[in-house]
Amino acid sequence: MRPISLGVFHLATVVHLALGAAVFNWPDPLLDGLDSQLYEPSSVSIIAVNCSERDNSTVAAQWLRLAYHDMATYNSTTGTGGLDASIQFEFTRAQDVGRGMLESLNDFFQSPNEYIGMADVIGMAAISAVVACGGPVIPFRGGRIDATEAGPATVPEPQQDLASHIASFQAQGFNETEMIALVACGHSLGGVRQVDFPLIVTDDVPTGIQTFASTVGFDNRVVTEYLDGTTENVLVVGSNITTRSDFRIFSSDGNATMQSLASPETFNKVCADLIERMVNTVPSTVTLTDIIEPLDFKVQDTSLYPQGGSLVFLATLRIIETGVNRTVTMFWKERTGTFCPPAGCSIPVMQVLSESSSLLAQLKGVAGFNRHSFNASIDLATSISHFWFEVNNNDGSAPFIVNNNGANYTIDQDVLVYDPQRTLATFVPGSVERLVVGIKGPSVPTNVTALTTVAGNETVPFTTKAINTFELDSSFTPTDGYTFYSSPFDFAGGVIPLSHTIRATINETEYSVWVPGDGVL
């Protein structure tokens, strides 16, 4: 996991942004985490790659269906519903039948945290599903807010008549032409499972599923096979006329829309636009970010804690791989007094690790990342106020500075610090596992607590919150001007923490530190 002390560090990145892309200014755990899940290896970016098979269908088909069913609660008149993760409370409904719903939610149950909700994860998954099966790249915006209860049961069902379908899609914000195209786009993947819909798939199917098209990937074969009469789409040619919903929808304008989608290029463009609209259909009270593109430079894995007579400061600068043999140096300045030279204290990189990028990142031209890690020893007396980086491409060009768009990466306090090393020391067999923080100075703090976001499970997929209290920990001797407090946590009991916001009131001032995951580096 990557400890990031937001209450301690105000970091940001210099980014070569595409027009209209979100600007990343630290601390921003939302954009930071979404960038990582979209463009680095993650559950969202890996599981569906190569249109991977599951349950005689594909993971991608399940993810795209989940996203639509979640969005289908939207009411364009009231501005309520939409892609808000209410599906976590709805997947047992008859209209949401199918084990793929819960399987998909279980794919994601460790992906949210305090800042990234399940709704954003479902949106990212829909986009990843399309590219994983060879479909178009779709822009992603973040900032969705999770619902706390089920939405209305408004998912269209195959036995409904055309007027009902038109009304449902109109409520979701799609006109009749867009309804036809969105159904075709969605039914490019997957099919109808006999065990879930025995009144639709009435013939014996060896695999247990009747696919919408003859190909597995995301393409317009669902359209061309419909137009040339070779389709086996059971929602078009099934023996149960009542449930031929695709036929009613596709033919509702005399096949004009389907004929326009016979061009693969048109199909991809229309589907990219409509699926983007689908995942961006959110309650009117929610404002999404600008489009999130891969960040050229991103600070990660930051931590500040006392050890051996100094402050250890860890930081990593992730840089998009471009084939350049870079030299990266980290600089910092004191918080109080004088210790560093006028140009700042500096340290060379400790190690450089190569990291692969996701398929989506590769389709955007990002072959991989280089992670430049630093381990600085900071003087206890003067501490650290801010830091920055100098990057030399060693190609004859002038070195350049990465410094939060000119504002530097600011460390706004060193009074409350998360201590990863002492936390690790508590993770031994037979011991109580604890999160450990250090508090500077002789003052006795009050209300040292952690708001912990806890992962769901295979039965209850949604996250929950827990408050954990820190107490003075006598097993750690006060040192380097810090006293140590710990909070027990049942990591081994099947409870999976996704993030912690640790707060303490010291001399009537509140300090906070944000730590993702289980607190282990």
215-to-211, 222, 463 alpha-carbon distances in Å: 9, 9, 36
Non-local (6+) Cβ contacts of 498 within 8 A are: 110, 112, 113, 114, 453, 454, 455, 463, 516, 517
pLDDT digits (tens, 9 = 90+) for 26-83: 778 999 999 999 999 999 999 999 999 999 999 999 999 999 999 999 999 999 999 9
72-to-85, 156, 157, 196, 281 alpha-carbon distances in Å: 11, 8, 11, 20, 9
418-439 average pLDDT score:
82
Per DSSP bridges, beta strands 497-506 and 509-516 are antiparallel
At residue 429, the pLDDT reads 61
Residue 432 has pLDDT above 70, yes or no: no
8 Å CB contact between 511 and 7: yes
At residue 425, the pLDDT reads 79
All structural domains of the chain: 47-279 (1.10.520.10), 297-411 (2.60.40.2440), 416-516 (2.60.40)
8 Å CB contact between 434 and 487: yes
Residue 24 has pLDDT above 90, yes or no: no
Torsion, CA 67, CA 70, CA 72, CA 76, rounded to 10: -110
Lowest mean pLDDT among 107-111, 469-473, 494-498: 494-498
Lowest mean pLDDT among 21-25, 270-274, 401-405: 21-25
Q: What is the pTM of this model?
A: 0.93
What whole-number distance in Å separates Cα of residue 83 and Cα of residue 87? 9
Per DSSP bridges, beta strands 416-418 and 409-411 are unpaired
At residue 15, the pLDDT reads 35
Per DSSP bridges, beta strands 471-472 and 416-418 are unpaired
Q: What percent of the chain has pLDDT over 70?
A: 93
Higher pLDDT, 346 or 461: 346
Give Cα 196 distance to the centre of its chain: 30
8 Å CB contact between 225 and 214: yes
What whole-number distance in Å separates Cα of residue 423 and Cα of residue 130? 40
Whole-number average pLDDT of the chain? 92
8 Å CB contact between 346 and 401: no
* Cβ-based burial of 418 (10 A; exposed 0-12, middle 13-18, buried ≥19): buried
pLDDT digits (tens, 9 = 90+) for 137-172: 999 999 999 999 999 999 999 999 999 999 999 999
Per DSSP bridges, beta strands 368-378 and 351-356 are antiparallel
Determine if the peptide bond prior to 264 is cis (ω within 30°).
no
Residue 460: pLDDT band by 50, 70, 90 thresholds? confident
- Block residue for tokens 């069902």: 157
Radius of gyration of the chain (CA): 26
What whole-number distance in Å separates Cα of residue 511 and Cα of residue 521? 22
**Dihedral (CA of 392, 316, 354, 359) sign:** negative
What whole-number distance in Å separates Cα of residue 354 and Cα of residue 339? 34
323-347 average pLDDT score:
96
pLDDT digits (tens, 9 = 90+) for 229-278: 999 999 999 999 999 999 999 999 999 999 999 999 999 999 999 999 99
- Amino acid (1-letter code) at residue 66: L
Residue 318 has pLDDT above 60, yes or no: yes
CB under 8 Å, gap of 24 or more: what pairs does 474-480 form?
Answer: 476/422, 476/436, 479/306, 480/306, 480/307, 480/308, 480/309, 480/310, 480/311, 480/380
What whole-number distance in Å separates Cα of residue 358 and Cα of residue 380? 40
Order of strands across the sheet that contains 368-378: 297-307, 310-320, 368-378, 351-356
What whole-number distance in Å separates Cα of residue 133 and Cα of residue 222? 14
Q: What percent of the chain has pLDDT over 90?
A: 83
Q: 3-state DSSP call for residue 315?
A: strand
At residue 2, the pLDDT reads 37
348-365 average pLDDT score:
97
Range list of β-strands (E), 50-138? 53-54, 57-58
User: Residue 493 carries which DSSP code?
Assistant: G
192-207 average pLDDT score:
93
